Amino acid sequence: MTATSPAPIVVTGTAGFIGYHTALALIDAGRPVVGIDNVNAYYDVRLKRARLQRLHDAGNFTFHEFDLKEHERVRQVVGECCTPCVIHLAAQAGVRWSIDHPFDYVDANLTGFLAILEACRHEGVGNLIYASSSSVYGANLELPFSTEHNVDHPISLYAATKKANEAMAHSYSHLYRLPTTGLRFFTVYGPWGRPDMAMWKFAAAITAGKPIQLYNHGRMQRDFTYVDDIVESIVRLADLPAQPDPMWTGHAPRPATSAAPWRVYNIGNHSPVQVEYVVDLLETHLGRKATREYVDMQPGDVPATFADVTALTEATGFTPSTSIENGVSRFAAWYLDYHRA
């Protein structure tokens, strides 16, 4: 780093879907990135390595491969690069995986996040952004989901760990004045996505001529959010550390703000669509028909998600807006090219 070049931003989870896209966007904007990832085998490691190679090819990227449980190494990396901002996107993902593998979520999502909080606290980081999830809304049925809603009833361990992250962040914001911003992502999809997520799973089944299971007998709705909209929101917030809310009071506490420098935002397309319609679009762009199986709801699932993004728009001036038709078209084109390669 020269005297005139910007300090690097630390991004965890850079071998992952959103972490890769976020790091690439920062690099493209002239911001050096220091990445951390343990490159675990939750899904195809070759895909993760391919993402990392593209980041190395882009330049201005330094990568450290280790687990966040190694808290002393986390602090060392954060401290050595004098970063003004940490974007924490590493996590053990997946609602259904958490049913059978609960300890994975404690290790990655709780212990790993604590290591990030401690590093940011001790190394004087001025802005911590971290991934939460729309799953924190749990048993809440009031739509659209608003950051002003209560999130005290998670219905999966994955959701519980994300709610815990928000609470842990608040304690550090209160005790140490560490600015923290939690981002509740809504069903992210796009090129270089995850094979365990619906969009990829549907595309894989359609191209292989295998049946697709549609939960809740085809009546599921999701607020599908294109990855570029997620990344644009993150990049804008990287320069907007959370500030205390001067109107906040413990007599009538607002759930999304605090007297501490702590905020949470929804990032979603604020336009839920029937999951079955997404299958229709994939059929069109992949050039094959799907075999559909209608099955019951799965444990930990909710029938619909719908993001109220008013607070995000007010804070950043940006509103996610990529249509599902445009987004699925881009994803399908990438998916076919990737598998041909």
Say whether pLDDT at 300 is over 80: no
So which residues are the catalytic ones?
A: 158
Residue found under tokens 């413990």? 250
- pLDDT (tens digit, 9 = 90+) per residue, 89-105? 999 887 778 888 899 99
Say whether pLDDT at 270 is over 60: yes
| CATH class of the region 9-186+227-268+305-321 | alpha beta
Mean of the per-residue pLDDT values for the chain? 95
- pLDDT (tens digit, 9 = 90+) per residue, 52-83? 999 999 999 999 999 999 999 999 999 999 99
Say whether pLDDT at 39 is over 90: yes
Beta-sheet pairing, 221-222 with 225-226? unpaired
240-266 residues labelled b (16+ CB within 10 A) or e (exposed) = ebbebbeebeeeeeeebbbebbbbbbb
Q: pTM to 2 decimals?
A: 0.96
- pLDDT (tens digit, 9 = 90+) per residue, 129-178? 999 999 999 999 899 999 999 999 999 999 999 999 999 999 999 999 99
- pLDDT (tens digit, 9 = 90+) per residue, 126-136? 999 999 999 99
Helix axes 45-58, 17-28, angle to 10 degrees: 10
Say whether pLDDT at 116 is over 70: yes
CB 33 within 8 A of CB 3: no
Structure tokens at 52: 């990392």
CB 181 within 8 A of CB 263: yes
Structure tokens at 81: 């690069």
User: So where are the chain's domains?
Assistant: 9-186+227-268+305-321
Q: Please choose, from the candidates 236, 223, 227, 28, the residue with its C-alpha nearest in 3D space to the C-alpha of residue 129.
A: 236
Q: What is the pLDDT of residue 218?
A: 85
Give me the mean pLDDT over the 241-265 stretch: 97
Q: What is the pLDDT of residue 4?
A: 67
Residue found under tokens 């882009």? 58
CB 225 within 8 A of CB 185: yes
Q: Please choose, from the candidates 268, 264, 269, 307, the residue with its C-alpha nearest in 3D space to the C-alpha of residue 129.
A: 264
Residue found under tokens 């050096």? 32
